[in-house]
Amino acid sequence: VTALAVSTVTVGDTVTPLSRRVTQEQIQAYADAAGDHNPIHIDANFARSVGLPGTIAHGMLELGILAEAISTWAGGSANLRSLSCRFSKPLQAGATIICTGTVVAVDASEGIATLDVGASSDRGDRVLTNGRATVRLSR
């Protein structure tokens, strides 16, 4: 795993946006893999009964895709030091998530870059907001 060099990272740098259509099949696969079978993710009738338009992706699945986008930019997931966000709007099954990130600070002495990160959907919703990540850089 090769971290980005401090000298190559500057404020304003952006993560290559990652777009991924999240199908019901993928949500089901995540439910099985993570052991989270909350019916809002896998039962459309139940989801509608609690006021959702249909089944929605797990927030942790969305966060996993965001983590992938940042990790790819950072030279590997071992360089991802922290990640946080608010799950502001649900991502409906079949929608495409678009993950983004922008460097907002570089601490050369600590070898850490801080990024504003987030995700929107192709339906126009900002699904992950107030996102912040830190990544390890090499010196």
Partner 1 sequence: MPDQSHVGRRYSAPGQRIAPDAAARVAAAIAGPDPVAEPGAVPPTFAAVYCLAPTFAQLFNDPEVGIDLAGLIHGDQSFEWPEPVQVGDVVDAATEIVGVDVKRGMTFVRLAMEAVRPADRAVVCRGTALMIMRATA
Cα separation, 16 vs 49, in Å, equals 38
Q: Are 67 and 117 in contact (CB under 8 A)?
A: no
Q: Report the run of H or E that residue 68 belongs to, with start and end.
A: helix 59-74
Question: Binding to partner 1 (CB under 8 A): which residues in 90-119?
Answer: none
d(Cα 99, Cα 27) in Å, to the nearest integer? 17
Task: Work out whether 77 is an interface residue with partner 1 (CB under 8 A).
Answer: yes
61 part of the interface to partner 1, by CB under 8 A? yes
Nearer to partner 1, 7 or 110 (CB): 110
Range 7-46, binding partner 1 (CB under 8 A): 20-23, 26, 29-30, 32-36, 38
Q: Which residue has the tokens 């089901």?
A: 28
Binding site for partner 1 (CB under 8 A): 20-23, 26, 29-30, 32-36, 38, 50, 59-61, 63-65, 67-68, 71-72, 76-78, 80-87, 130
